[in-house]
Structure 1
Amino acid sequence: MKRVGDQNEMLAGRSAAEFFRLSRRLALLIAPAIVITAVLMLVLGDSFAGSVAFGIAVVVVLALVVVAGLAQSKAKFKEAREFYAGYTTLRGVHPAVDQVDPRSGRVIRVAGEPFLTRDEHDSRTALVRQARSDA
């Protein structure tokens, strides 16, 4: 039976938590990119709509959408792989498996334990990371 702080064998590569974080960050850039493009179209009119700058803006928005979607898909795939490996790096999901800090690979919530509050999560994450640096 694992305990909080125990090292967990993790799958190779980025964790589901890291892919979800990347996906969210990219998604947050989409709306401002669309707004900036729309404002430029309103201010500059047809001269902007027919320009190279408009084409670049559209390509940037589409690229953000595609890359955010790919990161989200990769995150869901990695989430399933982690679950079948007996752990998760995500908060608030999969109570039947251990929750592991994605950076240190140490258990921060054991399987069957209630989900952690934000404060509990932050406290345990700091604790296991400190234990790792002390070792």
Structure 2
Amino acid sequence: MRVAVLGPGGVGGLIAGALQRAGTEVVIVAREQTATAISAHGLRVRSVSLGEWVAHPPAVHRLDEPVDALIVATKASGLEPALERIAVEPALVLPLLNGLDHLEVLRERFGAEAVLAGSIRVEADRPQTGV
């Protein structure tokens, strides 16, 4: 299974790093500066329960290659501009962002049958790009 993570902040970075560590093929979709930094230095994950490691998933500014699933972990306020960087139609879209209004936006963009309603409870932050 190939999974894209849109928004490698605290939540998205943890998910991308953990999925790759578990053997899942992961690609990060981020702003150009962030994608460049992650490509060059990796993604440092520090977790009380999972430990600390550096993941090296590919990071792109625009997703042009097919994926089985897209995990959306942007801030709700940045969702629509972030979606402009997705040029494929994944079979499954799992949003993990605050609020509820994003479901309508995602279902309009990808189709209601592809978009799940998701939630996550995790304490996470991104002290700097790639960390």
Query: TM (normalized to structure 2)?
Result: 0.29
Larger RCO (CA under 8 A, 6+ residues apart):
1
